[in-house]
Structure 1
Amino acid sequence: MTEVIQALFPSSMDSIPIRHIHTAQQQQDNSYRFSIRHIQDLLTGKGMHEALHRHDFFYILALKKGSGQHHIDFQSYTVEGHTLFLVRPGQVHELTLHTDSSGYLIQFSEGFYTAHEQQARRLLRKAGSINHYPFDARRSQKITGILQAISDEYTLQEERYQEAIKANLSFLFIELLRDPRHTVSTSEPRYFQERLDTFLELVETHFAEYKQVSQYAAMMHLTTYQLNAITKQTLDKTCSEVINDYIILEARRQLHATTEQINNIAFHLGYEDVSYFIRFFKKHTGYTPDAFRQNCR
């Protein structure tokens, strides 16, 4: 069940390498792209370094033991045992794994869950709001058991194995949601959480095209007041702050991971006036785009 990860360099303004998931195994539904591999098989006795890139799929790295460094959207983490990393599509990351690392790597496409599997999608969205999960030995053993069950289902492919994989993934996400950092978000009313998830997905998809709260409210059939009430209740931020935060994050990704000119980055982010973009970026970060890029080097 060999898997090939192919890095592509698109000709658009977004020149951060994007890696796509491809499986040698033929799957009935092309949108159902899933794989799980042992980290030891990936390393083949050597260390591994992956330079800055992003994926168009979900990426779960679960380590029983190991060492190295993992940088995800300007946060740096030490790779060590009893740790899980969950990287969402679109996030920029850089990974170094040393030869002593062992565990599992799971990858699956955004189309892995259908529109009807709302509960599973909610679990994934909530769990994916945090990238780094350290565990004590007891919880690590429990999670390793879940991952081994997923690996067995993927390898044996007995009847209804895809359902079994999804069920075990839900168990995994529930374990992640027991992290104390999720306590506040899980206490919010389900309606608010569902609307927030929709809003965040729309921002990630349309941030370059739409920058006004009213545009997102219209797509969600809400008033701007209702949408602001949801983000204030769940995130303690206004909708405008959420939109601007994502634009700044994507700008930082582009400045850090590419050598694109500032005017090209501004255009990619939806700004035809580069001077306005520079003022916007400095207002929210304290740096001009050029100064930020220099500080990243």
Structure 2
Amino acid sequence: MVLKVPVIEQCSVSENVQQGIMVEDLAGYLARNKKLVFPHRHNFYHLLLFTKGGGKHTIDFETFEVVPWQIYFMSPGQIHTWSFEEEMDGYVVNFDRDFFKTFLLQPDYMTLFSFFSGLVQDEVFVVKEDEREGVADVFKRLRGYVHDVDFARVSLLYIFHVLEQQRDRPVALPEDTYNHTLLRNFLNLIESNFRTLRLPKDYAALLYITPNHLNALCREVLGASAGEIIRKRVLLEAKRLLVIKDYGVSEIAYELNFNDNSYFTKFFKKGIGVTPEEFRRKHI
């Protein structure tokens, strides 16, 4: 089946893209993309710092009130909408999936930052007051020297480290490297296999650990069992597909590898509390 979810490409929303990265003032970015208020995905990483304004923005169906010095991170594939009010200001950075690929020796280095976990609750937070001036200054310099790609990479990594150290993380990743790697690999495996693999034992086998070990790690760090984490990812994809009018519920059930439409409907209602049709009416 051909996917019909609208995917926004870097070139369609960004101006003056320099070797895979764009940095722009928020006011100008919004003025140029003022019609981009429907649910959509990006095929690039997107981060935004608000320094002024209000309204709301939604990432994967979780809605946040805009406040000054809020920052959010989005990974490719997440569904996003906004409804901003007042005079908006801040900075926008869009960068391609492979922007750091040849720059970092450690391929999964970006997963060390909590805001690239793929969990929405990790991706939106407020910059602490004593860091605001320094963070804004780095964004300003980054905008001015974005044509120097190595400077842009170093500056972004510096921002990531500053923000990681100053934030109150809602999900504390394990300090030991082994369990951190296990959890990250589990989440990555879900992302690649959630349509076909639904049981914790399947993922435990791929990770060469026992299902009990996997469940204990998930409960300790994420506050949910491995099975719940898998089901939440399936439900998230179902919600993403339901906001696109072109998809019938039976098509979504087929896309997500359910045997029949009625089983998918029961699964969805048990997880979300409403039927797929009711969810669609609410969000479109």
- TM-score > 0.5, shorter chain as reference: yes
Unaligned runs of 5+ in 2: none
Equivalent residue runs for 1:55-204 within 5 Å: 55-98=42-85, 100-114=87-101, 116-118=105-107, 120-128=109-117, 129=119, 130-155=122-147, 157=148, 161-162=149-150, 164-178=151-165, 181-182=168-169, 185-186=172-173, 188-204=175-191
Query: How many aligned positions are there?
Result: 276
* 8 Å Cα contact 1:47-1:99 kept in structure 2: no
The superposition leaves residues 69-99 of structure 1 with CA deviations (integer Å, 9 ceiling, x where unpaired) of 2111222223332121211222111123457
The superposition leaves residues 123-161 of structure 1 with CA deviations (integer Å, 9 ceiling, x where unpaired) of 345455423222354332221122123223313x2xxx4
- Select which of 20, 29, 42 maps to 1:42: 29
- Select which of 50, 53, 58 maps to 2:40: 53
Partner of 2:266: 279
RMSD over equivalenced CA pairs, Å? 2.7
**1:295 matched to 2:279:** no
Distance 1:46 1:173 in 2: 26
Unaligned runs of 5+ in 1: 1-10, 28-32
Partner of 1:260: 247
Equivalent residue runs for 1:12-23 within 5 Å: 12=2, 14-22=3-11
In structure 2, the residue corresponding to 1:260 is in which secondary structure? coil
Which amino acid in 1 is paired with 2:281? Q
* 8 Å Cα contact 1:34-1:109 kept in structure 2: yes
Partner of 2:228: 241
Distance 1:69 1:270 in 2: 34
Would you identify which runs of 4 or more consecutive aligned residues in structure 1 move more than 4 Å?
Answer: 23-26, 44-49, 125-128
Distance 2:128 2:217 in 1: 34
Partner of 2:212: 225
- Select which of 178, 193, 213 maps to 1:206: 193
Partner of 1:30: none
* Identity rate, percent: 25
TM-aligned CA distance change 1:119 to 1:209, over 3 Å: closer
Query: Which stretch of the first structure deviates more once superposed, 85-94 or 14-23?
Result: 14-23
Deviation at 1:257, TM superposition (A): 3.9
Structure 2 length normalisation: TM-score? 0.84
Distance 1:49 1:211 in 2: 34
TM-aligned CA distance change 1:26 to 1:73, over 3 Å: closer
Which amino acid in 2 is paired with 1:92? I
Which amino acid in 2 is paired with 1:121? M
Which amino acid in 2 is paired with 1:86? F
* 8 Å Cα contact 2:114-2:169 kept in structure 1: no
Distance 1:246 1:55 in 2: 18
Distance 2:181 2:271 in 1: 28
Distance 1:252 1:119 in 2: 28
TM-aligned CA distance change 1:26 to 1:67, over 3 Å: closer
Which amino acid in 1 is paired with 2:80? H
Distance 1:265 1:119 in 2: 31
